[in-house]
Amino acid sequence: MKIAIAQLNYHIGNFESNQNKMISAISKAKNQGADLIVFAELAISGYPPRDFLEFDDFIDRCWKATEEVAKSCKDIAAIVGLPTKNPASTGKRLYNSAAFLNAGKIQDVLHKSLLPTYDIFDEYRYFEPNTDFHCVDYKGKRLAISVCEDIWNLGVEDLYRIKPMDKLIKENPDVMINIAASPFHYEQAERRKTIMKANVDKYHLPLFYANHVGAQTELLFDGGSLAFNAQSEMVGELNYFDEDLQVFDLENLPKEVKSETKPKKMALIHDALVMGIKNYFQKLGFKKAVLGLSGGIDSALTMVLASEALGAENVHAFLLPSQYSSDHSIKDAEDLAKNLGSPFETISIKSIYESIAKELKPHFKDLPFNIAEENIQARARGVLLMALSNKFGYILLNTSNKSESAVGYGTLYGDMNGGLSVLGDVYKVDVFELARYINRNEEIIPWNTINKPPSAELRPDQKDSDSLPDYDILDTILFQYIENRKGPREIISMGYEENLVNRVLKLVNINEYKRYQTPPILRVSTKAFGMGRRMPIVAKYLS
């Protein structure tokens, strides 16, 4: 038997596009002699469909699209992920299912047993767990078909009371097939390989694993679908960050194929962010982006990533200097736009700021200059950028990094504006590393932008270090708290000064209200702000 793995970029709710991609892949696999083609988890609907699953119309369209795909399954079978209705009168109304398509029809439907409900996953909100375990017989082979989490319950991932493969192995299957929606973070590919190998080590069967690729709002899927022989050797690894289709002969699987050199963290984050921007615009039907280019490293990096994703000509930069903007920052911004070949214009906010300050002067009661005046500048920039977004149909790119978002070092309705946050899951130390990665072959981002001390330039001689600890210290504390969920005593025991730790953690918690209002953040870490980190706003813990 020849088995094809189809790794496709689906679009949530775009049934016609999704089914046409599958039908095209079926034809391609059939031409390569495949007997079976495997698609990803919830491929028909796209992943994650979230509360679309509450609409009967959405579920009905998923079924109809699957029936259309089934019509192409003649002399070839397919495994397709979709949501299906639970016929029982009790329990959740849906299953997360894998349909087995053969002879032009839906021949069997199997359901997911282990429903992740942590971090970005919320499957028990919608789905009933499966309790009926059976394999599928096809062309003399018995297939143990499972859905994503059903084979992750091994070792350190042992979160559930049952292991679905322990049930299926009793039927003496010949092969394991897992359809998945495994989102990217920069450590996920290695974790994924470890889990797949652990399954083969335990059950001594070849394994075929089909993952999603492409971006779905903030969730990024890196692909990297896998094939293992029964000797626990990885014999196939599909492309990362791109669609792919590969065919494997089950009776003649090759010996172990070595992965290419393990991609470094910055290369992975770079490729993920470029894909995330590109797909966000494509799937929303937009082509052009706008951003405020300050001469600082965050806006510079955002502009380069957007230019790679959309084409430099489609990224329009606006320099918005105030009386506090330095000449070198303006020059750095201009040099970057010229290096990229992107259009840029300059609008001074000095007169706008002075006009607003004049109107507010009698109401400010002669109080000294402080954060209020600083934020007027940021909000004036935000007004201008949103006006340009509205007028020309651009998406405004937010340039805030994770360090700033964590401690509230940003202005609501100002520099925190945007339709998409590109760097909101990238700590400042990694922003610098990414910029150096961009410049690995030639100077694209002016080196002065990378090397100068970071500054918001909202008051004379301002530096980020005036308000925040050095980023190498700040980011380590933030990482321990946000990603590793360490408490203050644990972080202090690592050697960090008590008052500093308490101050940083307090800043994180009291600024939850700001993050609640930020745009979608492209997720590249194990714990991003957004749908995977749910914190109360009105709370007292560490605040």
pLDDT number for residue 159: 86
Task: Tell me the pLDDT tens digit for each residue of 292-334.
Answer: 999 999 999 999 999 999 999 999 999 999 887 777 889 999 9
- Among 21, 41, 123, 128, which one carries the catalytic annotation? 41
Q: Cα separation of 511 and 516, whole Å?
A: 9
pLDDT number for residue 463: 73
pLDDT number for residue 468: 86
For residue 294, report the phi and psi dihedrals to the nearest 5 degrees. -95, -15
> Residue 177 domain-assigned?
yes
Instruction: Assess whether 112 carries a catalytic annotation.
Output: yes
DSSP 8-state symbol, 285: T
> Residue 539 domain-assigned?
no
DSSP line for 204-259: ---EEEE--EEEETTEEEEB--EEE-TTS-EEEEPPBSS-EEEEEEGGG--S--PP
User: Going by C-beta distance under 8 Å and a sequence separation of 6 or more, which residues neighbour residue 293?
Assistant: 299, 300, 303, 317, 318, 319, 333, 336, 337, 344
Find the CATH number of the domain harbouring 299: 3.40.50.620
DSSP 8-state symbol, 473: H
Whether residue 459 is predicted with pLDDT greater than 70 in this model: the reply is: no
> Residue 531 domain-assigned?
no
Q: Cα separation of 352 and 369, whole Å?
A: 17
Whether residue 456 is predicted with pLDDT greater than 70 in this model: the reply is: no
Are 362 and 387 within one domain? Answer: yes
pLDDT number for residue 328: 81
| Residue 466 burial class via C-beta count within 10 angstroms: exposed 0-12, middle 13-18, buried 19 and up | exposed
Are 278 and 244 within one domain? Answer: no
Tell me the mean pLDDT in the region 533-543.
94
> Residue 540 domain-assigned?
no
Are 307 and 244 within one domain? Answer: no
Unique residue bearing structure tokens 């992975």: 268
Residue 478: name the closest of 401, 400, 403 by CA.
Answer: 403
pLDDT number for residue 531: 93
pLDDT number for residue 313: 98
> Residue 455 domain-assigned?
yes
| Out of 79-88, 248-257, 403-412, least confident range | 248-257
Are 67 and 178 within one domain? Answer: yes
Are 155 and 301 within one domain? Answer: no
Whether residue 170 is predicted with pLDDT greater than 90 in this model: the reply is: yes
Tell me the mean pLDDT in the region 241-249.
98
Residues of the chain by 3-state class (helix, strand, coil), percent to 5: 40, 20, 40
- Among 112, 163, 278, 402, which one carries the catalytic annotation? 112
pLDDT number for residue 329: 85
Boundary of a domain, candidates 196, 231, 254? 254
Find the CATH number of the domain harbouring 55: 3.60.110.10
Tell me the mean pLDDT in the region 32-47.
98
> Residue 189 domain-assigned?
yes
Are 272 and 243 within one domain? Answer: no
Q: By residue range, what is the domain housing residue 169?
A: 2-254
Are 346 and 480 within one domain? Answer: yes
Are 213 and 116 within one domain? Answer: yes
In the chain, % of residues over pLDDT 90: 92
Whether residue 23 is predicted with pLDDT greater than 70 in this model: the reply is: yes
Whether residue 157 is predicted with pLDDT greater than 70 in this model: the reply is: no
In the chain, % of residues over pLDDT 70: 98
pLDDT number for residue 256: 82
The confidence band for 168, taking pLDDT boundaries of 50, 70 and 90, is very high
> How many Å is the maximal CA-CA distance in the chain?
86
Task: Tell me the pLDDT tens digit for each residue of 97-128.
Answer: 999 999 999 999 999 999 999 999 999 999 99
pLDDT number for residue 457: 65
Are 239 and 283 within one domain? Answer: no
- Among 62, 73, 135, 148, which one carries the catalytic annotation? 148
Distance of CA 429 to the CA centre of its chain: 20
For the chain, how many structural domains are there in total?
2
Instruction: Assess whether 148 carries a catalytic annotation.
Output: yes
DSSP 8-state symbol, 389: H
Bridge partner residues of 227 (DSSP):
208, 236
pLDDT number for residue 262: 73
Tell me the mean pLDDT in the region 245-254.
95
> Residue 354 domain-assigned?
yes
Residue 245: name the closest of 521, 497, 514, 27 by CA.
Answer: 27
Unique residue bearing structure tokens 């282990």: 114
Whether residue 36 is predicted with pLDDT greater than 80 in this model: the reply is: yes
Tell me the mean pLDDT in the region 505-513.
97
pLDDT number for residue 458: 66
Are 291 and 177 within one domain? Answer: no
| Out of 34-48, 254-268, 367-381, least confident range | 254-268
Q: Is the dihedral of CA 337, 338, 342, 347 positive or negative?
A: positive
DSSP 8-state symbol, 369: P
Unique residue bearing structure tokens 């990229």: 340
The confidence band for 261, taking pLDDT boundaries of 50, 70 and 90, is low
> Residue 509 domain-assigned?
yes
Cis peptide before 48 (omega within 30 of 0): yes
Task: Tell me the pLDDT tens digit for each residue of 210-220.
Answer: 999 999 999 99
Tell me the mean pLDDT in the region 181-205.
96
Boundary of a domain, candidates 254, 275, 309? 254
Q: What is the rounded average pLDDT for all residues in the chain?
A: 95
The confidence band for 200, taking pLDDT boundaries of 50, 70 and 90, is very high
Are 289 and 425 within one domain? Answer: yes
3-state secondary structure 411-431: CCCCCCCCCEECCCCCCHHHH
Q: Are 431 and 303 in contact (CB under 8 A)?
A: no
Q: Is this prediction's pTM over 0.85?
A: yes
Tell me the mean pLDDT in the region 71-87.
98
Unique residue bearing structure tokens 């194929």: 257
Q: Cα separation of 542 and 514, whole Å?
A: 17
pLDDT number for residue 322: 87
pLDDT number for residue 137: 98
Are 99 and 175 within one domain? Answer: yes
